[in-house]
């Protein structure tokens, strides 16, 4: 059986609309950056750039006056800032998960969406990394977090989870960026080759690193890609596990929970897929990518959402159970009283409804394949996951051990400005990416098409299965022979 | 450019090539050394030292000579380079700054080492002896004078905050005529002319108004004024006063006397609406003595007094009661009669008064056991029982309370319980009558000149007098005050008054200790003291306040030496007469010595032996009771009560940011007062928390924001005085609700009132603590005395430290100093003096009402207040038990904050302190999140410059003068918290090291500990087995707050023990 072929027994369908040629794929994707941007792009871009501008203004004001322009208070020393950080990091998960883990597991359906997802990872992690930088009281010395040699021999505190966090997210960002760029090289070369304008030729040519598509190039490329995928895979799991340790290593009820690392990873994948889906649905509509991004992709993503939703729901339930089972009165007061009935009960209701109830619709195929439904659901899940982080951070802090120190939290307009601003920054980057870079991995998509098969046209030779499979699986090995 | 002579060389410079005579010899190898010594022995006085040149031959070592400068190529280039360099330098000129070294230092002032001066400050009826810390002549911090019997080294929150009042940038800075700045000379000329015109009629048309005074010199000046103007009258008025107490003692004993109660010896204390631990006269002294009667060392010999409180509104005293009855203030009187009647019934010989109290006793709505059981308890402790009444209760109640205490036996084996002392001013009248007389005279145009020394009568005089309108009829009004306030703005002349820390004065405490008020700083603004003004008016011979005070002191010194009258000092000697009428000389040297020691100790004369106890006049008391109207409050109306604010007192501290931001000890409201309602009353009125309500009494009404406090008497609305100022300054204007419009001459303490919901928007209150219940958490441990005796370690039973091992390797705490603190919740009254002391010591910023509402108050020390409704202990949701718990950084040995800081900004010191390096802090706030005590405070904004003082372009310079130079002023973006006053630890250690000794136990006192009137805080070295801190840390009822988390807190608490009467259950 050829690897590109759908497995009929599993009720699979082709990954590219039948009848699509290799040229169609190249053309559909490349033309986006070669033709003037459609009106929809401009509208989206101006909107996003406006919010990015708001972001710059709000952060300037924040730097000028201090963190007090946000609503953070005592005891809620972290609020929207870290909520947004964790939310963005979580969103940044799906990209590498789709690229690396699915790549290693040979999930060929990932090819339609992996470039998107990876770009999203990069931009989401950029948005995430903004927050640790700007949320500190004295941002001009934030570099003290790094282990920089200095004459006083003063090092950061390696016991601090914030430091682990910095390393984890930093590594993740670096590796994700490399991974993304490596994957882009053949496609950049395609764009270069199609360019008629000298500047496009030069810029794409520069970034294409002299790619000529030779056998040797492909061999190195495939190997590098595989290595990077292997490096990325543990990072997908580690980054959010480490982020969760910001909370899990503390003593605060609601934070001090051993379930956090897997729970955070599941939540991150959940929110990441939701965000990929949101963005993908917009791009698919605006740039008419129906031939490459099939309903099948979307349906698979929805299945993933359902699975991770159940994982997250399980974690929610387990937190409640352990709080009750531990008999610890502070834990019980937090999980059984403060979360559902405290002053922020509404945040908890948002979290549970969006994250646990909404995805239940995906038990039904009709819902899984309904684009308006999945668009709304993906946004609701994003909201729900934002509230999950809000619940974990703000609801744990606002009522901890000593009732005398309890307090309410109220965000300010600057909080809203900064958060919506990062969404603007994210989409600004994303829209620029869609406009100027191949937003679908052309080379990889082509690899899944029938035309890419050396035995193209020969259907189902049971006796040749083994042989063909080996060939098809390892084009790199083939080239090395 | 300083032009100082260079430091003289020790010897003339040796000739070229020679080392300094006697200098060591330098050699590079043994051979060389051998050669060296050979040469030196061979040719003595020859070239010695370094024999061979350092550089090998051929190397030029001599600098180019002048000749070579001109001719050699190298020299030319060098000269050119120098020329070019100097061409550029031509325009530069170092600024001429005269360096003034501290060579002519004031005596005993060492830069960087604070000095302490003893002084005194008048507080209502008592004078608090103080020690003021000064840095290079700048007073920065107030402490009580440990040797002074009115403070015993402690100070309350208001006294702590007076240092800020001294530096208030909005204090009046110049005399003003009709509002326009003028000069003292102009004023003196005008006043002198005016006074001269009064000489004819002996001052009939001249009146003075001043608060009751404790100053012997003021009294002497007043007498001198009376000599010049026999018909002029000096009136006294203070909105918060002790006239009823004074009148009560006059009724009971025939003469006004100061009555002190020895609370430390009492077993049973019944307070009839007296907040003697916070707002009454001598609160610091009372708290000290009261807490001494409750100090428990261990369960074995545990003994403590029992406090019954009957009061309308929850006060500090009520919160500390073993039994508290909430009763409207107007019903306290009948409670007193009913209790007296019950005591009579149970056998107390009331004699003449028995019939009248019986007649007036009305026990409606008073639980029977509150009469029978309390009476039994009092009688069972004869000789050790005290009944006291609050200053707002009528004189008859005071007379009765004094009589009851007296009849229950004032002397016993433990000593005297009721101590009588002469009053400071024997001529003082009832202030209400006095100001009424003045107002009448003003109203009928009989006053031509009114001189108001201090006080603010336009704001705080009884509303029915119409003082403001009548003041307009006086042609010449002089008002001397610290601020241009409500009264100043209506006066002809406003005069800036010198602050108590700027001027000479004296004061007499309740116990007749006479102390000298010595200035700590020259007047910041052109202020003058009352003594100087009175002296000017009286044409007194003393030209300055110093001379006047010294002259008064001379009389006291003579008296101490057994002399009575002294003539003027001539040639260092004065002629005095002793008790027998013989002439004895008094030498100036002796006077000087005693004056000097009086200044340095802080008091001239110790408390004098009490007066002989006067005879009780029960018949007069009976008559006074009979005269009281029967129905104080018409049925169907409510009652509004007025109390001195624990922070604003009568409004004088309205412009004080520390006090504005210090939370009320009960409501925890800041920057406002509130109309306090009980839950039931609020429900009946349909009023929710924060709703505006209208309170009408005596034909006037005010609207105020309502605040529901459990424990408030039903049918009673409580307001504190001193709020709603209109001309207090930028800080105090428009804060809170002014209760004075409801306060009339016949209802200074409380009044019948109509209360209704006002509608409109809810008022915006800010609180520092928003949750009132302890949620049944083991964070505060309480027991009764009986429970304590049976379970001495009741506190640890609920929250034992964990058995699990710490996460990180353990430190060795067995070496060196290991600091620790213990707070005794049994004696802590929750008065919040520690909180203000901490602000003063540690430069804690003020953040303003809005930021407190956000939850960003910066207090390093907070006093938590929880309500407890425990049916078993007779407490309900409407009438709870109140506990206070001061919380500051507990300096965990396993500190959660330290592990999580990414930059090591908070670390553990070798002496067990959890230390904050502000410079290293980047402000991630993770430490504060992970602090289970939530004692870390974050500088969200640049509090000092950017919030409260934004409009003045930063913290005013005068307020900067107050700041403690030994404590960093924190910038925005960094975390801060209690440091155990590390600056005090360090300076004590440095001092000990310089004196080659160990730090003594008790030598280091944290600011909160030092000021605590109840001595509830102990700090010291836990590695010293003999230190008090170690002993306290081993007391059986200790507990570590949240120790079950494994934090190993260094601050421990001693569980709260109360002493309820089993009969009351």
Residues 127-146 of A with CB under 8 A from B: 132, 135-138, 141-142, 144-145
Residue A198: CB atoms within 10 A of its CB come to 9
Asked whether the predicted pLDDT for residue A12 surpasses 90, the reply is: no
Tell me: domain A21-454, CATH 3.40.1050.10, correct?
Answer: no
Q: Do A407 and B770 touch (CB under 8 A)?
A: yes
- Report the phi/psi class of residue B696: left, alpha or beta, with left for phi > 0 and alpha for psi in -120 to 50: beta
A79 touches chain B (CB under 8 A): no
Write down the domain spans for chain A: 21-454
pLDDT for B632 equals: 60
Q: Do A159 and B808 touch (CB under 8 A)?
A: yes
Residue A54: CB atoms within 10 A of its CB come to 17
**Nearest residue in chain A measured CA to CA from B779:** A402
Question: Could you give the residue ranges of the DSSP H alpha helices within B643-687?
Answer: 657-661, 679-685
Task: Mean pLDDT check: name the lowest of B62-66, B310-314, B941-945.
Answer: B62-66
* Calpha distance A72→B937 (Å, rounded): 12
Residue B742 sits at the vertex; the CA angle it makes with B738 and B748, to the nearest 5 degrees, is: 105
Instruction: For chain B, report the end-to-end CA distance as a whole number of angstroms.
Output: 82
Q: Do A408 and B769 touch (CB under 8 A)?
A: no
pLDDT for B9 equals: 39
Asked whether the predicted pLDDT for residue B190 surpasses 70, the reply is: yes
Summarize the confidence of residues A354-363 as an average pLDDT.
Answer: 94
Average pLDDT value over all residues in chain A: 86
Q: Pull the structure tokens for residue B839.
A: 């602000």
Helices (H) and strands (E) in chain A, counts: 21, 0
Task: Mean pLDDT check: name the lowest of A132-146, A434-448, B348-362, B595-609.
Answer: B595-609
Asked whether the predicted pLDDT for residue B51 surpasses 50, the reply is: no
**Nearest residue in chain B measured CA to CA from A398:** B929
Residues ≥6 apart with Cβ < 8 Å to A423: A48, A51, A127
Give the phi and the psi of residue A36 in degrees, each rounded to 5: -55, 150
Residue B88: CB atoms within 10 A of its CB come to 9
* Calpha distance B118→B127 (Å, rounded): 13
pLDDT for B811 equals: 82
Task: Mean pLDDT check: name the lowest of A282-296, B386-400, B541-555, B813-827.
Answer: A282-296
Select from B772, B855, B932 the Cβ nearest to the Cβ of A401: B932
Q: Do A403 and B924 touch (CB under 8 A)?
A: no
Asked whether the predicted pLDDT for residue B10 surpasses 50, the reply is: no
pLDDT for B25 equals: 67
pLDDT for B872 equals: 83
- Please confirm whether the linkage preceding B305 is cis (ω < 30° from 0): no
Residue B851 sits at the vertex; the CA angle it makes with B850 and B856, to the nearest 5 degrees, is: 155
pLDDT confidence bin for B681, thresholds 50/70/90: very high
A410 vs chain B: nearest CA distance in angstroms?
A: 8
pLDDT for B89 equals: 55
Residue B740: CB atoms within 10 A of its CB come to 23
Three-state SS letters, A392-454: HHHHHHHCCCCHHHCCCCCCCHHHHHHHHHHHHHHHHHHHHHHHHCCCCCHHHHHHCCHHHCC
Residues ≥6 apart with Cβ < 8 Å to B221: B530, B531, B534, B535, B538, B540, B548
Model pLDDT for residues B338-357, shown as the tens digit of each residue: 999 999 998 888 888 888 88
pLDDT for B259 equals: 87
> H or E stretch including A110?
none
B712 vs chain A: nearest CA distance in angstroms?
A: 21
A251 touches chain B (CB under 8 A): yes
B442 vs chain A: nearest CA distance in angstroms?
A: 52
Model pLDDT for residues B742-769, shown as the tens digit of each residue: 999 988 999 999 999 988 899 999 999 9
Asked whether the predicted pLDDT for residue B1 surpasses 50, the reply is: no
- Report the phi/psi class of residue B663: left, alpha or beta, with left for phi > 0 and alpha for psi in -120 to 50: beta
Q: Do A138 and B887 touch (CB under 8 A)?
A: no
> H or E stretch including A95?
helix A93-96
CA neighbor of B639 nearest in space, from B367, B329, B871: B329
pLDDT for B113 equals: 82
* Calpha distance A189→B954 (Å, rounded): 60
* Calpha distance A238→B729 (Å, rounded): 58
Asked whether the predicted pLDDT for residue A214 surpasses 70, the reply is: yes
pLDDT for B827 equals: 94
Model pLDDT for residues A239-258, shown as the tens digit of each residue: 889 989 989 999 999 999 88
Q: Do A154 and B770 touch (CB under 8 A)?
A: no
Asked whether the predicted pLDDT for residue B858 surpasses 90, the reply is: yes
B967 vs chain A: nearest CA distance in angstroms?
A: 20
DSSP lists the bridge partners of residue B756 as B694
On whether the CB atoms of residues B299 and B143 are closer than 8 A, the answer is: no
* Calpha distance B503→B529 (Å, rounded): 6
Summarize the confidence of residues B843-858 as an average pLDDT.
Answer: 93
pLDDT for A457 equals: 54
Summarize the confidence of residues B949-974 as an average pLDDT.
Answer: 90
Select from A138, A252, A402 the Cβ nearest to the Cβ of B929: A252
Model pLDDT for residues B779-833, shown as the tens digit of each residue: 889 999 999 999 888 887 777 777 777 777 888 888 889 999 999 999 999 999 9
CA neighbor of B116 nearest in space, from B95, B137, B96: B137
Residues ≥6 apart with Cβ < 8 Å to B574: B554, B558, B566, B567, B568, B585, B586, B588
Q: Report if pTM > 0.80.
A: yes
A chain contacts of residue B808, beta-carbon cutoff 8 Å: 159
Summarize the confidence of residues B214-229 as an average pLDDT.
Answer: 92
Select from A76, A137, A160 the Cβ nearest to the Cβ of B902: A160
Residues ≥6 apart with Cβ < 8 Å to B193: none
Average pLDDT value over all residues in chain B: 86
A326 touches chain B (CB under 8 A): no
pLDDT for B631 equals: 65
Q: Do A397 and B1045 touch (CB under 8 A)?
A: no
The percentage of residues in chain B with a pLDDT greater than 70, rounded to a whole number, is 90
Q: Give 3-state DSSP helix, strand, coil % of chain B, rounded to 5.
A: 30, 20, 50
In B120-145, which positions are buried (b, 16+ CB within 10 angstroms) versus exposed (e)? bbbbbbbbbbbbbbbbbebbbbbbbb
* Calpha distance B693→B762 (Å, rounded): 10
Q: Give 3-state DSSP helix, strand, coil % of chain A, rounded to 5.
A: 75, 0, 25
Summarize the confidence of residues B417-436 as an average pLDDT.
Answer: 88
**Nearest residue in chain B measured CA to CA from A71:** B854
Q: Do A251 and B929 touch (CB under 8 A)?
A: no
Select from B774, B775, B930 the Cβ nearest to the Cβ of A251: B930
Q: Pull the structure tokens for residue B162.
A: 């007076």
pLDDT for A453 equals: 66
Asked whether the predicted pLDDT for residue B223 surpasses 60, the reply is: yes
Task: Mean pLDDT check: name the lowest of A451-455, B92-96, B869-873.
Answer: B92-96
- CA–chain centroid gap for A459, Å, is 38
pLDDT for B882 equals: 92
pLDDT confidence bin for B380, thresholds 50/70/90: very high
Asked whether the predicted pLDDT for residue B462 surpasses 70, the reply is: yes
Summarize the confidence of residues B520-538 as an average pLDDT.
Answer: 90
Q: Do A66 and B1042 touch (CB under 8 A)?
A: no
Residue B64, helix vs strand vs coil: coil
* Calpha distance B1050→B1055 (Å, rounded): 16
B chain contacts of residue A410, beta-carbon cutoff 8 Å: 854
Residues ≥6 apart with Cβ < 8 Å to B418: B259, B260, B261, B262, B386, B402, B405, B406, B410, B613
DSSP A100: I
* Calpha distance B885→B866 (Å, rounded): 8
Summarize the confidence of residues B442-463 as an average pLDDT.
Answer: 92
B854 vs chain A: nearest CA distance in angstroms?
A: 6
pLDDT for B852 equals: 94
In B182-201, which positions are buried (b, 16+ CB within 10 angstroms) versus exposed (e)? beeeebeebbeebbeebeee
B429 class by beta-carbon count within 10 Å (0-12 exposed, 13-18 middle, 19+ buried): middle
Asked whether the predicted pLDDT for residue B1065 surpasses 60, the reply is: yes
Question: Number of Cβ pairs closer than 8 Å across A and B?
Answer: 174
pLDDT for A109 equals: 73
Question: Could you give the residue ranges of the DSSP H alpha helices within B72-181?
Answer: 73-89, 157-166
Query: In Å, what is the CA distance from B361 to each residue of B366, B373, B385?
Result: 11, 16, 21
A74 touches chain B (CB under 8 A): yes
Residues ≥6 apart with Cβ < 8 Å to B366: B325, B327, B331, B334, B335, B338
Model pLDDT for residues A147-174, shown as the tens digit of each residue: 888 888 888 999 999 999 889 999 999 9
pLDDT for B108 equals: 65
pLDDT for B795 equals: 84
On whether the CB atoms of residues B875 and B868 are closer than 8 A, the answer is: yes
Parallel, antiparallel, or unpaired for β B505-508 and B514-517?
antiparallel
Q: What is the DSSP string of B443-511?
A: HTT--SEEEEES--HHHHS-GGG-HHHHHTT-SEEEEEESS--TTGGGSSEEEEBPPTTTS-EEEE-TT
pLDDT for B56 equals: 52
Query: In Å, what is the CA distance from B259 to each residue of B281, B387, B389, B406?
Result: 11, 12, 12, 11
Q: Pull the structure tokens for residue B526.
A: 């052109």
Asked whether the predicted pLDDT for residue B1061 surpasses 80, the reply is: yes
DSSP A356: I
pLDDT for B70 equals: 52
pLDDT confidence bin for B563, thresholds 50/70/90: confident
Q: Do A137 and B972 touch (CB under 8 A)?
A: yes
Residues ≥6 apart with Cβ < 8 Å to A274: A305, A377, A378, A379, A381, A382, A385
Summarize the confidence of residues B949-969 as an average pLDDT.
Answer: 89
CA neighbor of A23 nearest in space, from A204, A194, A199: A194
Select from A138, A142, A402 the Cβ nearest to the Cβ of B864: A402
Residues ≥6 apart with Cβ < 8 Å to A128: A84, A85, A86, A87, A88, A89, A92, A169
Q: What is the DSSP string of A253-300?
A: TTT--TTHHHHHHHHHHHHHHHHHHHHHHHHHHHHT-TTTS-HHHHHH
On whether the CB atoms of residues B136 and B931 are closer than 8 A, the answer is: no
A150 touches chain B (CB under 8 A): no
* Calpha distance B221→B229 (Å, rounded): 12
Select from B775, B930, B974 the Cβ nearest to the Cβ of A137: B974
On whether the CB atoms of residues B911 and B818 are closer than 8 A, the answer is: yes
Asked whether the predicted pLDDT for residue B485 surpasses 80, the reply is: yes
């Amino acid at each position: 059986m050829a690897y590109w072929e759908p497995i009929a027994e599993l009720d699979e369908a082709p990954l590219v609309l039948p009848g699509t040629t290799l040229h169609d794929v190249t053309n559909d994707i490349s033309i986006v950056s070669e033709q003037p941007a459609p009106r929809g792009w401009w509208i989206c871009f101006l909107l996003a750039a406006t919010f990015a501008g708001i972001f710059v203004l709000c952060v300037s004001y924040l730097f000028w006056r201090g963190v007090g322009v946000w609503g953070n208070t005592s005891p809620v020393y972290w609020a929207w800032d870290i909520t947004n950080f964790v939310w963005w990091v979580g969103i940044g998960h799906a990209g590498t998960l789709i690229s690396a883990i699915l790549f290693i597991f040979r999930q060929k359906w990932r090819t339609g969406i992996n470039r998107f997802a990876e770009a999203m990872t990069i931009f989401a992690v950029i948005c995430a990394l903004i927050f640790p930088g700007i949320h500190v009281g004295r941002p001009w010395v934030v570099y003290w977090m790094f282990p920089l040699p200095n004459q006083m021999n003063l090092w950061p505190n390696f016991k601090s989870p914030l430091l682990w966090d910095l390393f984890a997210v930093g590594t993740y960002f670096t590796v994700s960026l490399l991974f993304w760029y490596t994957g882009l090289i053949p496609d950049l070369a395609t764009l270069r080759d199609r360019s008629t304008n000298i500047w496009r030729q030069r810029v794409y040519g520069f970034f294409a690193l002299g790619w000529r598509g030779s056998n040797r190039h492909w061999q190195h490329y495939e190997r590098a890609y595989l290595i990077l995928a292997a490096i990325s895979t543990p990072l997908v799991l580690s980054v959010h596990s480490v982020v969760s340790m910001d909370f899990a290593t503390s003593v605060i009820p609601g934070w001090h929970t051993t379930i956090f690392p897997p729970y955070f990873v599941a939540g991150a994948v959940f929110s990441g897929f939701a965000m990929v889906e949101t963005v993908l649905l917009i791009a698919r509509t605006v740039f008419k990518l129906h031939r490459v991004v099939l309903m099948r992709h979307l349906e698979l993503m929805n299945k993933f959402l359902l699975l991770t939703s159940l994982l997250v729901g399980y974690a929610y339930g387990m937190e409640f159970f352990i709080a009750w089972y531990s008999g610890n009165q502070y834990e019980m007061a937090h999980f059984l009283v403060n979360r559902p009935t405290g002053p922020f009960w509404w945040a908890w209701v948002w979290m549970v409804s969006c994250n646990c109830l909404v995805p239940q619709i995906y038990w039904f195929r009709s819902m899984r394949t309904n684009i308006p439904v999945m668009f709304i659901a993906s946004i609701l899940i994003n909201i729900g996951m934002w509230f999950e982080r809000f619940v974990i951070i703000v609801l744990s802090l606002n009522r901890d051990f000593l009732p005398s120190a309890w307090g309410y939290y109220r965000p300010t307009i600057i909080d809203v400005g900064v958060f919506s601003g990062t969404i603007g920054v994210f989409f600004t980057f994303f829209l620029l990416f869609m406009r100027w870079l191949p937003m679908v991995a052309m080379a990889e998509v082509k690899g899944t098409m029938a035309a890419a098969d050396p035995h193209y046209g020969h259907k189902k030779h049971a006796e040749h299965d083994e042989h063909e499979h080996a060939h098809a699986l390892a084009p790199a090995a083939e080239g090395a022979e | 450019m300083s032009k100082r002579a260079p430091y003289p060389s020790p010897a003339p410079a040796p000739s070229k090539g020679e080392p300094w005579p006697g200098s060591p010899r330098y050699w590079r190898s043994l051979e060389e050394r051998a050669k060296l010594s050979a040469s030196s022995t061979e040719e003595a006085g020859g070239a010695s030292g370094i024999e061979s040149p350092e550089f090998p031959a051929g190397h030029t070592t001599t600098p180019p000579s002048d000749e070579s400068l001109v001719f050699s190529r190298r020299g030319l280039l060098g000269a050119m380079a120098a020329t070019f360099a100097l061409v550029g330098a031509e325009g530069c000129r170092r600024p001429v700054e005269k360096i003034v070294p501290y060579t002519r230092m004031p005596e005993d002032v060492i830069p960087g080492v604070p000095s302490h001066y003893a002084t005194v400050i008048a507080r209502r009826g008592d004078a608090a002896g103080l020690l003021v810390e000064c840095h290079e002549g700048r007073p920065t911090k107030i402490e009580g004078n440990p040797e002074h019997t009115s403070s015993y080294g402690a100070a309350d929150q208001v006294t702590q905050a007076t240092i800020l009042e001294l530096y208030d940038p909005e204090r009046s800075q110049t005399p003003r005529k009709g509002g326009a700045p003028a000069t003292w000379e102009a004023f003196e000329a005008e006043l002198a002319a005016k006074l001269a015109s009064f000489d004819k009629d002996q001052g009939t048309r001249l009146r003075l108004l001043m608060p009751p005074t404790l100053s012997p010199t003021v009294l002497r000046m007043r007498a001198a004024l009376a000599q010049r103007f026999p018909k002029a009258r000096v009136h006294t008025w203070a909105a918060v006063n002790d006239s009823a107490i004074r009148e009560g003692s006059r009724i009971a004993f025939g003469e006004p006397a100061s009555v002190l109660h020895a609370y430390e010896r009492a077993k049973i204390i019944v307070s009839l609406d007296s907040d003697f631990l916070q707002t009454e006269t001598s609160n610091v002294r009372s708290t000290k003595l009261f807490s001494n009667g409750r100090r428990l060392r261990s369960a074995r010999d545990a003994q403590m007094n029992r406090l019954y409180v009957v009061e309308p509104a929850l006060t500090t005293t009520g919160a500390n009661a073993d039994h508290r009855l909430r009763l409207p203030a107007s019903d306290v009187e009948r409670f007193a009669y009913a209790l007296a009647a019950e005591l009579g019934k149970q056998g107390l010989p009331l004699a003449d008064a028995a019939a009248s109290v019986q007649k007036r006793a009305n026990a409606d709505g008073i639980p029977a056991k509150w009469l029978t059981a309390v009476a039994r308890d009092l009688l069972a402790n004869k000789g050790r029982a005290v009944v006291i009444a609050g200053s707002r209760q009528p004189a008859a109640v005071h007379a009765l309370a004094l009589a009851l205490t007296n009849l229950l036996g004032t002397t016993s084996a433990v000593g005297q319980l009721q101590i009588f002392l002469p009053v400071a001013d024997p001529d003082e009248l009832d202030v209400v009558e006095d100001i009424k007389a003045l107002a009448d005279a003003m109203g009928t145009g009989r006053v031509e000149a009114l001189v108001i020394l201090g006080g603010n009568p336009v704001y705080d005089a009884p509303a029915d007098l119409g003082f403001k309108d009548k003041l307009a009829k006086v042609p010449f009004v002089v008002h001397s005050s610290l601020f241009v306030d409500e009264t100043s703005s209506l006066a002809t002349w406003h005069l800036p008054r010198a602050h108590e820390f700027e001027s000479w004065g004296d004061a007499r405490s309740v116990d007749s200790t006479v102390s000298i008020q010595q200035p700590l700083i020259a007047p910041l603004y052109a202020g003058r003291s009352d003594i100087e003004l009175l002296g000017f008016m009286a044409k007194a011979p003393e030209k300055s306040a110093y001379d006047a005070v010294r002259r008064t002191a001379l009389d006291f010194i003579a008296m101490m030496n057994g002399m009575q009258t002294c003539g003027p000092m001539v040639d260092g000697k004065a002629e005095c007469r002793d008790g027998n009428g013989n002439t004895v000389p008094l030498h100036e040297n002796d006077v000087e010595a005693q004056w000097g020691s009086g200044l340095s100790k802080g008091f001239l004369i110790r408390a004098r032996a009490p007066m002989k106890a006067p005879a009780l006049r029960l018949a007069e008391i009976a008559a006074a009771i009979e005269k009281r109207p029967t129905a104080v409050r018409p049925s169907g109306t409510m009652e509004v009560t007025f109390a001195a604010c624990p922070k604003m007192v009568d409004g004088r501290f309205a412009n004080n940011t520390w006090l504005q931001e210090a939370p009320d000890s009960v409501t925890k409201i800041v920057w406002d007062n509130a109309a306090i309602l009980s839950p039931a009353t609020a429900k009946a009125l349909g009023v929710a928390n924060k709703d505006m309500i209208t309170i009408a009494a005596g034909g006037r009404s005010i609207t105020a924001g309502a605040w529901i406090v459990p424990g408030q008497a039903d049918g009673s609305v409580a307001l504190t005085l001193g709020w709603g100022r209109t001309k207090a300054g930028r800080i105090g204007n428009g804060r809170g609700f002014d209760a004075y419009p409801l306060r009339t001459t016949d209802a200074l303490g409380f009044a019948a009132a109509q209360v209704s919901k006002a509608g409109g928007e809810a008022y915006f209150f800010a609180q520092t603590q928003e949750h009132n219940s302890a949620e049944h958490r083991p964070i505060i441990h309480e027991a009764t005395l009986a429970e304590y005796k049976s379970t001495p370690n009741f506190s640890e039973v609920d929250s034992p430290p964990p058995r699990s091992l710490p996460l990180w390797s353990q430190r060795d705490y067995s070496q060196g100093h290991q600091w620790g603190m213990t707070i005794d919740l049994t004696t802590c009254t929750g008065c919040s003096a520690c909180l203000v002391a901490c602000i003063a010591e540690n430069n804690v910023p003020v953040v303003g009402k809005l930021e407190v509402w956000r939850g960003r108050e910066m207090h390093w020390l907070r006093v938590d207040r929880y309500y407890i409704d425990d049916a078993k202990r007779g407490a309900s949701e409407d009438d709870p038990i109140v506990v206070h718990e001061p919380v500051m950084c507990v300096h965990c040995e396993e500190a959660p904050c330290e592990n999580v800081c990414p930059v090591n900004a908070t670390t553990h010191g070798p002496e067990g302190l959890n230390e904050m390096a502000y410079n290293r802090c980047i402000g991630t706030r993770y430490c504060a999140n992970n602090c289970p005590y939530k004692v870390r405070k974050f500088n969200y904004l640049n509090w000092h410059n950017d919030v409260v003082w934004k409009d003045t372009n930063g913290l005013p310079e005068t307020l900067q003068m107050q700041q403690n130079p030994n404590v960093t002023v924190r910038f925005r973006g960094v975390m801060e918290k209690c440091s155990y006053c590390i600056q005090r630890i360090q300076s004590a250690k440095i001092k000990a090291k310089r004196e080659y000794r160990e730090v003594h136990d008790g030598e280091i006192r944290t600011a909160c500990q030092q000021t605590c009137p109840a001595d509830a805080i102990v700090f010291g070295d836990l590695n010293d087995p003999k230190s008090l801190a170690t002993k306290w840390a081993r007391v059986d009822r200790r507990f570590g707050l949240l120790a079950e988390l494994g934090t190993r807190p260094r601050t421990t608490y001693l569980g709260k023990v109360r002493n309820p009467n089993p009969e009351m259950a």
